[in-house]
């Protein structure tokens, strides 16, 4: 019931790997790690959720916040590696139409 957030610099921005469960307890850690990065002008932020085993609305809230911040700084925010469960969460909340979500096949983080 914990989370790890691994950030790797790439030329145009950052690749992020999130592992574990995202809930009200762990979301602040995710937010604290990524929010400052989202304010870099023109940043490309790719977040890989392959190893996220659980997520609820607190996680959605963090990603909406990051997406807004990255966009406000003329960057690009992309989520990759969503399980069927996670994809469903983004679908039923309507976020899948707003945030850029890519499967691995479409060129996610390797």
Contacting positions for another protein (CB under 8 A): 1, 21, 23-25, 54, 56-58, 60-62, 64-65, 67-68, 71-72, 85, 89, 92-95, 97-98
The Cα 52–Cα 100 span in angstroms is: 18
Nearest-approach distance from CB 110 to another protein, in angstroms:
27
Residues 64, 71: contact at Cβ < 8 Å?
no
Cβ proximity to another protein, 57 vs 109, nearer residue: 57
Cβ proximity to another protein, 17 vs 63, nearer residue: 63
State how far Cα 30 lies from the chain centre.
Answer: 9
Look up tokens 């969460």; give the residue.
Answer: 89
Nearest-approach distance from CB 87 to another protein, in angstroms:
12
Nearest-approach distance from CB 78 to another protein, in angstroms:
15
The Cα 82–Cα 106 span in angstroms is: 12
């Amino acid at each position: 019931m914990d989370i790890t957030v691994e950030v790797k610099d790439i030329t145009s921005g950052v690749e992020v790997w999130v592992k574990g469960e995202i809930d009200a307890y762990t979301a602040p850690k995710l937010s604290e790690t990524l929010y400052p990065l989202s304010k870099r002008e023109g940043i490309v932020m790719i977040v890989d959720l392959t190893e996220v085993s659980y997520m609820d609305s607190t996680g959605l809230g963090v990603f909406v916040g990051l997406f807004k911040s990255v966009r406000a700084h003329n960057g690009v925010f992309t989520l990759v590696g969503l399980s069927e469960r996670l994809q469903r969460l983004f679908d039923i909340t309507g976020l899948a139409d707003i945030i850029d979500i890519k499967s691995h096949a479409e060129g996610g983080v390797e």
